[in-house]
Amino acid sequence: MRQVVIDTNIIVSSALSEKGKPAEIMNLCFSGVLQVFYNAEIFDEYKRVLSYRRLNIAIEIQVGIINAIAEVGTLINTIASTMPLPDEADRVFYDTARASGAILITGNIKHFPARSFIMTPAAYLEKMSMSGRIRST
């Protein structure tokens, strides 16, 4: 099983549309193809951002996503790194990916240093498809 850390923008995108690469990533997580890692701060951010009124995400979808992540994901503890990042709020995702040895999947690639373990949904799905692990749409 492939290990991933999912940036909040991927969660939100999948909640807003059942189509597209973010939704495909989340479907792979919820079906057990990908193992999601998160820490308490990330989990709290998922809940907080999904509940933003301006996003207008139905409460049933919010609860479904949070419950699914809690059920299939792995909660870990992390220690903050000193890696310079353009957006300090993204440190928790970077550090969780490093601590778990997972790939960080984000739609905001520019918020992170260029590292082989940080990928967009499209790049990750392409890599998985090329390795024969999944069939990407």
Q: What is the CATH number of the domain that holds 106?
A: 3.40.50.1010
Per-residue pLDDT for 1 more than 80?
no
- The residue written with tokens 């990042």 in the block is 85
**Domain presence at residue 83:** yes
String of b and e for 9-40 (b: at least 16 CB within 10 Å)? bbbbbbbeeeeebbbbbbebbbeeebebbbbe
Question: Quick one: which of 127, 128, 117, 104 has its CA closest to 37?
Answer: 104
**Over 70: is that where the pLDDT of 137 sits?**
no
Report how far residue 106's alpha carbon sits from residue 113's, in angstroms, rounded to the nearest whole number.
12
Mean pLDDT of 21-40: 96
Residue 120 belongs to some domain of the structure: yes
Determine the pLDDT at residue 134.
Answer: 62
- When divided into structural domains, the chain yields a total of 1
Is 135 inside a domain boundary? no
Q: What is the pLDDT of residues 51-63, one digit of tens each?
A: 999 999 999 999 9
Is residue 136 in some structural domain?
no
The span from the CA of 59 to the CA of 37, in Å, is: 23
Residue matched to tokens 């997580």: 29
Res 135: pLDDT: 60
Q: What mean pLDDT is predicted for residues 109-130?
A: 90
Question: Residues in the chain, how many?
Answer: 137
| Structural domain span for residue 13 | 2-130
Predicted confidence (pLDDT) per residue in 62-119, tens digit: 999 999 999 999 999 999 999 889 889 999 999 999 999 999 999 998 888 888 899 9
Q: Which of 25, 15, 23 is nearest to 126 (CA)?
A: 25
DSSP letters of 62-88? HHHHHHHHHHHSEE----------SSG
In angstroms and rounded to an integer, the radius of gyration of the C-alpha atoms of the chain is 14
- Summarised one tens digit per residue, pLDDT across range 5-26 is 999 999 999 999 999 999 999 9
pTM: predicted TM-score of the whole model, two decimal places: 0.91
